[in-house]
Chain A
Amino acid sequence: MELTFFLQQMINGVALGSLYGLIAIGYTMVYGIIRLINFAHGDVMMMGCYFAYFGILMFSLPWWASFAVAIVLTALLGVLMDKGAYVPVRNAPRISALITAIGVSFLLENLGLVVFGGRPKGFDTPDMFNEVYEVAGLMFPALVLWTPLLTLLILGFILFIIYRTKTGRAMRCISHDMETTKLMGVDVNRIISITFAIGSASAAAGGIMWAMRYPEINPLMGIIPGFKAFVAAVLGGIGNITGAMLGGLLLGIAEILLVSLMPEMAGYRDAVAFGLLILILLFRPTGLMGTKLPD
């Protein structure tokens, strides 16, 4: 009984944590390559959810087609965001880019409010993801199995791009020294656009998984997952993609354990996440798997 309870809570923790991890991967990837904390990442995720929602509802696409279209559209949105907002401040001090990111975040949120309206919408989860499996008294909703799988898949894909392709080599170069990379004849803007496209696409994938597990979408839904993914990224060592996934898992499990072991403290679950962020920044600023930053 006690063991079943604990195991069930671990399953709950992994389910939540892998969602955080999935969203954190794109977050940390963009940071790792261009050293920009893209505060709009959570809002890009929100846009991905709406694209998928409208794909199913308005164009009556089958769910897989709608998800694919949403991911592609979100990737394009990422490129657009880079071209429109970040290219003009590429050579400005880093703080300008950071503030621009906050601006983009507000822009997307309020654009969402105007275009989609403030009333929340229910996300249509395909039946396949609604199933629940029972094994020895433990409940496994299908998404609890799919999300970590997808997270690993995307993690593998991004690691492959970064370490096994030419574009990836250019990305790694940019993360070390953008100026020199430019001198080597690499089209830096194109590489950064690709980075944003991949980061945003993974945000959309994360958003869709999020929306299937918590089927309520609204224009401000990206804020909290965005923050949590940021904490997960820092926890794992910001810039480190594998670390982001582990950070997400850790954060999810920590939150669930707090609520289940100390139910009275449930109101402090966000405080725990952000407390964890402060502790990490104080005692291990490079995170669990991070390396020393160049500056």
Chain B
Amino acid sequence: MKTKHVLVAFMVLGLAFAMPTPSFSQAKSDTIKIGVFLPMTGGVAAYGQGSWQGVQVARDMEPTVLGKKVELFLADDKSDKIEAANAVTRLVEKEKVVAIIGSSISGNTMAGAPIAEKAGVPIISPTATNPLVTQGKKYIFRVCFIDPFQGEMAAKYAYETLKKRKAALIIDKAQDYCVGLADFFEKSFTKLGGEIVAKTYCQTGDKDFTAQLSAIKAKNPDVLYMPNYYTEVALAMKQAKDLGLNIPVLSGDGSQDKALIDIGKQNVEGLMLTGHFEKEAASTPLAKKFIPLYEKKFGKVGTFDVMGADAYFVLIDAIKRAGSTDGAKVRAALANTKNFKGISGTMTIGEDGNAIKSLVIVQVRGGDFRYVATVEPAGAKPEPKKPAAKKK
């Protein structure tokens, strides 16, 4: 009797599992499936949440491509490298997506990359800026600038504009992004003639930076470069104030999320950073269309929201130009993206998978991110529409 019940239970279970399969193969023909893997929870959840909102608004603006509806599949990488690899595996093997948008941070994108690379599914990352993300990879792309550019510009800004000579660093050793960016900053800053007087380390998830900051204070630097993520930067700036370390702080694109201000409040006033986008400097037609739509739905637009949307638009544009969803063809089209006018600016993506585009210098003032200046990439062919954003 009992075995019979168990058998029935198993049959019902089996049926439940078998159910999605037929509908799934049906759906294949009339929609285009795009996977999205982003940190929706965990340490850098604000990036993922923002980019996902951006992707959704972008999809509503361009819901079809090649005459088919675009269907999005979201996988949470939980701000974790192992989960990122799992998420990509699931998108590739179970959902059978034609291309993937993600992830927000370099380490997670790098963890997912080999799987997509092997399967021949293109990945386009909104904001993974470490050079290693695309290096030696055929199918990995991004719509953001890379860290050597960002680090050099931060160093130049500190040395030339702020006239600082003695810099201190806090480096998150667990993040490829932070290690890379700190390294590029250090190289440029010392080349310009500056000196790195203190180099301290932390680890993702650390909340207490008092030991590092006390050590930094003892070395008397005149500027602090902290290329970490928003939580770490906000907490460290609060503790720096507590410890009486009142020097200008510079950071990278990872700080430019409203969570930084929610957490840091008055303590993050004055922070300067190199970012992808700031609303005040938005000038492309796509930006003019996207921003009101986004803000009607989710409130003030942020960098990561915009970058997620840009990744979507670039990908849809590539699928359109490829005229197919075949991985190799979409890849070829992505690698041939020329002067695409996204929301965050005009970008050109080459065979190396990297976007050549400008960056903005942003400062926290009055509890908000404010635009300071635009820096054009060196060596990029100047586009006709440059001077508009230069001075403000």
Contact = CB atoms under 8 A, between A and B. Distances in A.
A16 B45 CA distance: 25
Nearest to A260: B211
A54 to B, nearest CB: 15
B41 A120 contact: no
Interface of A: 1, 5, 8-9, 12, 15-16, 113, 117-123, 132, 134, 139, 141, 214-216, 218-220, 224, 255-257, 259-260, 263-264, 266-267, 269-270
Interface in B142-179: 173-174
A120 B259 contact: yes
Contact of A216 (B40, B235, B241): B235
A263 B199 contact: yes
Interface string B177-212: 000000000000000000000011111011110111
B210 A120 contact: no
Interface stretch (B262-270, B332-340, B372-380): B262-270
Given A5-B218, A16-B208, A266-B212, A118 B234 contact: no
A105 to B, nearest CB: 15
Nearest to B170: A266
Contact of B211 (A117, A218, A259): A259
A134 B244 contact: yes
Contacts of A219: 41
Contacts of B244: 132, 134, 139
B238 interface: yes
A122 B242 contact: no
B207 to A, nearest CB: 4
Given A118-B42, A121-B262, A139 B242 contact: yes
Contact of B174 (A1, A139, A218, A267): A267
Interface string B203-231: 10111101110110010000000000001
B49 interface: yes
A117 B42 CA distance: 10
Given A120-B231, A120-B263, A216-B263, A259 B45 contact: no
B42 A220 contact: yes
A267 B202 contact: yes
Contacts of B241: 132
28 contacts: A5-B215, A8-B214, A9-B210, A9-B211, A12-B211, A113-B41, A117-B49, A119-B49, A120-B263, A121-B262, A122-B262, A122-B265, A139-B242, A139-B244, A215-B235, A216-B207, A218-B45, A219-B41, A220-B41, A255-B208, A257-B211, A260-B212, A263-B201, A263-B212, A266-B201, A267-B173, A267-B201, A267-B202
Contact of A119 (B210, B211, B234, B259): B259
A266 B202 contact: yes
B357 to A, nearest CB: 27
Contacts of A270: 203
A256 B235 contact: no
A141 B201 contact: no
Interface string B232-264: 001100100111100000000000000101111
B45 A119 contact: yes
A239 B234 CA distance: 36
Contacts of A12: 208, 210-211, 214
Contact of B45 (A118, A122, A257, A269): A118
Contacts of B98: none
Contacts of B234: 122, 216
B343 interface: no
B346 to A, nearest CB: 30
A119 B199 CA distance: 30
Interface in B5-64: 40-42, 45-46, 48-49
Q: Which of B173, B199, B211, B265 has the most CB of A within 10 A?
A: B211
Given A9-B214, A139-B244, A263-B199, A119 B208 contact: no
- Going nearest first, the 6 A-B pairs with the smallest beta carbon separation are A122-B262, A118-B41, A259-B211, A12-B210, A118-B45, A266-B201
Given A5-B214, A267-B174, A224 B259 contact: no
B49 A118 contact: yes
Nearest to A109: B41
Contacts of B215: 5, 259-260, 263
